[in-house]
Amino acid sequence: MKTKTFYILLLALLVVIPLSAENRTQIIAHRGFWKTSGSAQNSIRALDLANDINVYGSEFDVHITADNIPVVFHDDKFLGIPIQTSNYEDIVSYSLPNKEKIPTLEAYLNKGKLLKTKLIFELKTHATPERNREAARICVKMVQDMGLQERTEYITFNLDAGTEIIRLAPDAQVSYLNGDLSPAQLKEAGFTGLDYHFDVMRKNPDWFSEAKKLGLTINVWTVNTPDLIREMADKGADFITTDVPLEAQSIVSQPDK
């Protein structure tokens, strides 16, 4: 009888412990862990460093060049050269602030394959609806060809790109960034989550509970101050995207007040 009670208690613990860990807000390093020596936003080094500090995921931005090479970079222009209307060879000779070349998506994912952190893939908006869908096709194919479907979660401001990713990768986590759709509208469009600016969530406080009821994940960006990190975690954000991942991890791992 004692043995049976022991096993029931053990089983209960095994169920409860992962559930409580899962309920805690998780941290995503915005453009990798870049606010540290030798790193740079969206560099392969920043991805590697994000993995080293055991964050849930490392976010990065992807544009497609005119000759259809996906590259990892945030702004529309790299050192004044417009990425989406230039060929890859026009930008490859220049370096990021940490002396890395601008990473191709292929090189970035090759590094990601060796790591554990989730790859939070932001597909940037391109010039036309058709080009947005084409960008989605190029990117989803590369992720699938490299066997990274399970490790990759997509985010985008662009509805055409988002719905194309959902169509091509129906099992993927796909969240919408633009803040103009309600949780119900996102669910209807097939998204699995919202990934909104914290001000959008402050203006629409009901969206926390509405998203949860619909089974959508909640991610907020870019949450960089201790008070705001605490506020968003307390309101029930599943994920916080931040430029200060170490500090954010420390804050969300503290017990609630």
Residue number with CB closer to Mg ion (40 or 184)? 40
Q: Does 61 bind Mg ion (CB under 5 A)?
A: yes
Q: Taking the complex as a whole, how short is the minimal distance between the CB of residue 61 and Mg ion, in angstroms? A: 4
Letters for 107-126 (x = contact with Mg ion by CB under 5 A, - = none) are ---------------x----
Q: Taking the complex as a whole, how short is the minimal distance between the CB of residue 254 and Mg ion, in angstroms? A: 27
Residue number with CB closer to Mg ion (178 or 212)? 178
Give the three-state DSSP class for 248. helix
Residue number with CB closer to Mg ion (125 or 210)? 125
Q: Taking the complex as a whole, how short is the minimal distance between the CB of residue 40 and Mg ion, in angstroms? A: 15
- Print burial letters for 207-235: b (CB count within 10 Å at least 16), e (below 16): bbebbeebebbbbbbbbbeeebbbbbbeb
Q: Taking the complex as a whole, how short is the minimal distance between the CB of residue 238 and Mg ion, in angstroms? A: 18
Note whether 89 and 60 are within 8 A (CB): no
Sort strands 81-82 and 26-29 into parallel, antiparallel or unpaired: unpaired
Residue number with CB closer to Mg ion (102 or 230)? 102
**Burial environment of residue 161 by CB neighbours within 10 A (0 to 12, 13 to 18, 19 or more):** buried
Residue number with CB closer to Mg ion (98 or 222)? 222
Q: Which stretch binds Mg ion (CB under 5 A): 5-13, 53-61, 88-96, 179-187?
A: 53-61
**Alpha-helical runs (H) found in 119-158:** 129-145
Letters for 152-191 (x = contact with Mg ion by CB under 5 A, - = none) are ----------------------------------------
Note whether 235 and 256 are within 8 A (CB): no
Strands (DSSP E) contained in the chain are 26-29, 57-64, 70-72, 77-78, 81-82, 118-123, 152-156, 173-176, 193-197, 217-221, 239-242
Using Cβ positions, the residue closest to Mg ion within the complex turns out to be 122
Q: Which residues bind Mg ion (CB under 5 A)?
A: 61, 122
